[in-house]
Structure 1
């Protein structure tokens, strides 16, 4: 199953150094039965884009958490696309997050198909979205608009062989 795993640049550096994303369990996003049912008219490509977008939103939260822990993390969303055997992927019943899955094993680099990362031009909008997350979570419509604004930036596609260059 193709799973989109939210990440950050420091976590991606650990993946490059250790050869895997872990430890398990990991939260990911995929084309689940609940997503297919909800998005009745979408083809596979559209559904994968929805899952990728959900993972990019989760990446915002990961950046915020790392910053709160004192780390200096660039405002660039990161999503790893990986092929994970179905037996390690558990789908939930959360209607709010129809694409969310739980990956019950670390994901080795060899299972990663690509990495999707914001261009540096997106940093101001991503930083604004991260700053607005707490207010957006409390229902502030203006803050939600700012968070949604990060999605105006398409994530750039990188082959896994390009990870070392991306991290420089």
Structure 2
């Protein structure tokens, strides 16, 4: 099963050094039964895009948390796409985040299929979204508009062998 793991550039650097995403448990996003039921008309590619978008939103939250802790982290959303055995993925009953899953194990580097990262041109909009994501999660419509706006930027695709150059 393809699972999308939210990340940041510093976290991706740690993954590259350690050779795995961890420690477990991990939160990811995937095409779950709840997502399929909710998004009835979508094909597999559309459903995977929804899961990727949810992971990118979670990456924004990670960036905001790092910034709140005083960590200087580049304003670029990062999503790690990995192939994980179906029997390891645990889908939750979360109605708000239908694609959210838990992984009770680390994800090894050889399971990573690709990495998706914002282009540098997206940085100003990502900066604004990072500043607004907490208010958006609390229901502020203006903040939600700012956060939704960053999704106009498509994440770029990088093969695993390109990770060192990306970092």
Q: Provide the TM-score with structure 1 as the length reference.
A: 0.98
CA distance in 2, matches of 1:48, 1:138: 26
Residue number in structure 2 paired with 1:26:
26
Question: Is residue 2:138 matched to residue 1:133?
Answer: no
Residue number in structure 2 paired with 1:109:
109
Can you list the C-alpha shifts for 1:110-150, whole angstroms capped at 9, x where unaligned?
00000000001100000100101122122211110001011
Residue number in structure 2 paired with 1:13:
13
The SS at the match of 2:29 is: strand
Residue number in structure 2 paired with 1:55:
55
Deviation at 1:68, TM superposition (A): 1.5
The SS at the match of 2:73 is: coil
Can you list the C-alpha shifts for 1:43-70, whole angstroms capped at 9, x where unaligned?
0000000000000000000011111222
CA RMSD of aligned residues (A): 0.7
The SS at the match of 2:27 is: strand
Gaps of 5+ in 1: none
- Comparing 113-122 and 136-145, the one that deviates more: 136-145
The SS at the match of 1:12 is: helix
Aligned length: 167
Q: Provide the TM-score with structure 2 as the length reference.
A: 0.98
Superposed, 1:1-168 pairs within 5 Å as 1-167=1-167
